[in-house]
Amino acid sequence: MQLESMYQEIILDHYRDPHGRGLREPYDGESHQVNPTCGDEVTLRVHLDGDVVQDVSYDGLGCSISQASQSVLHDLVVGKPVPQALAIGADFLTLLQSKGDPDVAESMEESLDDAVAFVGVGKYPARIKCALLGWMALKDALGQARIIESGGRDE
Amino acid sequence: MSVETTFSAAFDVEAVRKDFPILERTVRNGRRLVYLDSGATSQRPRQTMDAEREYYERHNAAVHRGAHQLAEEATDLYESARERIGAFVGSPGNEIVFTKNSTESINLVAYSMSNAATSGAAAARFVVGPGDEVVVTEMEHHANLLPWQMLCQRTGATLKWFGLTDDGRLDLSDVDGVITERTKVVALVHQSNILGTVNPLEQITRRAHEVGALVVLDAAQSVPHMPVDVRDLGVDFLVFSGHKMLGPSGIGVLWGRHDLLDAMPPFLTGGSMIEVVRMEGSTFAPPPQRFEAGVPMTAQAIGLGAAVDYLSALGMSAVAEHERELTAYALEALQQRLRGVRIIGPTDTVARGGAVSFVVDGIHPHDVGQVLDDQGIAVRVGHHCAWPVVRRYGVPATTRATFYIYNDTSDVDALVAGVEHAQRFFGVA
């Protein structure tokens, strides 16, 4: 039974009881991402206070992996400076691309905390995109927020 | 249970299974492969693979070229496959155009229609422009939707469609209002790849022909599963794919009425499809060669010829009956033996084929598919390239099981047990 290697209890907990779900105001950047192979979608907003991510709010449709990943994202990124949030996102991508390598997971425990539980998803190529959907939205929303912010400063 | 599993099918499923080497392998740590994804692509029997191998080992050459013995043999095999594939759907060979798949066949018609505007008087009946209408249905696979959306975009025509009823059928309450004097093409699916619905054609073809519109039928999910005779259907074009009916990938068919193919301008141009070529301009070969530019998929056509021989030997009526019984068994099992499972599409076997889509309360289809995969059960999850359909029924996606000649009730029982397992795993039952 390999199922548990993907659906670790931490993932199922986040799926059943997602953290920070729902779209909130105010926000500085918003992104809508769709997985065209399955139709899953997410809308994700970021609210910045200076360089710090003040809030991440999100809503959408998707499988347990995508929903749990967005919940974990919320926990990891809120309160962090933008460069650190992006670095966490890069680590998460590396974890998912490691084909389930436990050494990679171990080396990222500090950065990713609960999110290392997603290492097993990397063994299932069709599901990697599910786990990354929210993180793609985060990157896009942060990019938009900073464009808006710098635009604001120029005025 | 033994009574329920005794079928009246006219062929022996166990014997059929022995022709499919892939069904002997195991998946996911030694589990028996339960293949319920033939709607996406079927498995291939040894006979198909042997035909391709023998062609490459003994006869390989470029068809319709060259004066040598191999070229003659290759051409004979290729054209013999065309005749047999035509006969399989009640057509002479010269109405069978080989393409890559159904998708390419539909694009061929759509692009030929937009080429018609610059192809002279003979092609006039294919011209589509502003003020004209193209009619599809909300049930279409993207392959029979996007080519028509794009044709409308290129030509300025307007796309219209038949909606769906809550029970998974076409809403035909206003056929005369949807198909009008402005309609040039009506393109629809014969058997839905996601709902399983088999559409009634008579009312639509009668109205279409009354207003002078052409009818294009997407038969990708019907030709593999039931007897189809192009003359009985009353349509003008019909398409299907080899890989869904025991044939190789990369080979499909466009059937068209000969008078239409004869007047239709080409889509892809180049070698093989010409009559006379001069620097100043060229003329084209008669159909079907006009629509087969370049060296064709020869081994694949020959493999598809072997596949239709295989299906013909079983008998398509027997194939359809086998699938009807299996579908009835599956619909009953999913609805009666399980709680929280909803069928998306007709819930009985009336005018319905063997594509069974369902949603499980509280579990996303991706997760259902993952749990099934862990038990060796291959299904498809997602929108099945028919995104408007899942949107119409208010679900993000479905889990879909599809049946074919090598499936039996033990596969359905495995599916039901797998869904139960998913419900336990996710704590919803």
pLDDT tens per residue, range B334-380:
999 999 999 999 999 999 999 999 999 999 999 999 999 999 999 99
Query: What pLDDT, on the 0 to 100 scale, is given for residue A37?
Result: 81
**Which of B29, B374, B381 faces A38 most closely, judged by CB atoms?**
B381
Order of strands across the sheet with B380-382? B341-344, B355-360, B398-402, B380-382
Q: For residues A57 and A65, what is the distance between their CA atoms, to the nearest angstrom? A: 17
Cα B159 versus chain centre, distance? 22
Mean of all residue pLDDT scores within chain B: 96
pLDDT value at residue B10: 75
**pLDDT for A150:** 67
Smallest CA–CA distance, residue B399 to chain A, in Å, is 11
Instruction: Kindly state the tokens that stand for B124.
Output: 């006039």
Render pLDDT for B32-41 as a digit per residue (tens, 0 to 9): 999 999 999 9
State residue A151's pLDDT score: 58
Collapse the DSSP code of B25 into the 3-class scheme (helix H, G, I; strand E, B; otherwise coil) and give the result: coil
Whether A12 has its CB under 8 Å from any CB of chain B: the answer is yes
Predicted confidence (pLDDT) per residue in B276-303, tens digit = 999 999 999 999 999 999 999 999 999 9
Question: How high is the pLDDT of residue B3?
Answer: 41
What percentage of chain B has pLDDT greater than the value 70?
98
Per-residue pLDDT of chain A (155 residues; tens, 9 = 90+): 578 889 999 999 999 999 999 999 999 999 999 998 878 899 999 999 999 999 999 999 999 999 999 999 999 999 999 999 999 999 999 999 999 999 999 999 999 998 999 999 999 998 999 999 999 999 999 999 987 766 544 43
Euclidean distance between the first and the last CA atom of chain A, given in angstroms as a whole number: 59
* Whether B218 contacts B144, CB under 8 Å: yes
Please tell me which residue, B220 or B1, carries the higher pLDDT value.
Answer: B220
Give the nearest chain B residue to A12 (CA atoms). B426
pLDDT at B91 over 50: yes
Coil/strand/helix, residue A24: coil
pLDDT at B7 over 60: no
- B109-150 tens-digit pLDDT: 999 999 999 999 999 999 999 999 999 999 999 999 999 999
Q: Which residues of B are catalytic?
A: 385
Q: Helices A64-77 and A82-96 meet at what angle, rounded to 10?
A: 150
Q: pTM value?
A: 0.94
Measure the CA–CA gap between B252 and B232, rounded to whole angstroms.
Answer: 21
pLDDT of residue B9: 59
The answer to whether the CB atoms of B366 and A1 lie below 8 A apart is no
Of A3, A6, A38, nearest to B383 by CB-CB distance is A38
Q: Which helix (H) or strand (E) holds B357?
A: strand B355-360
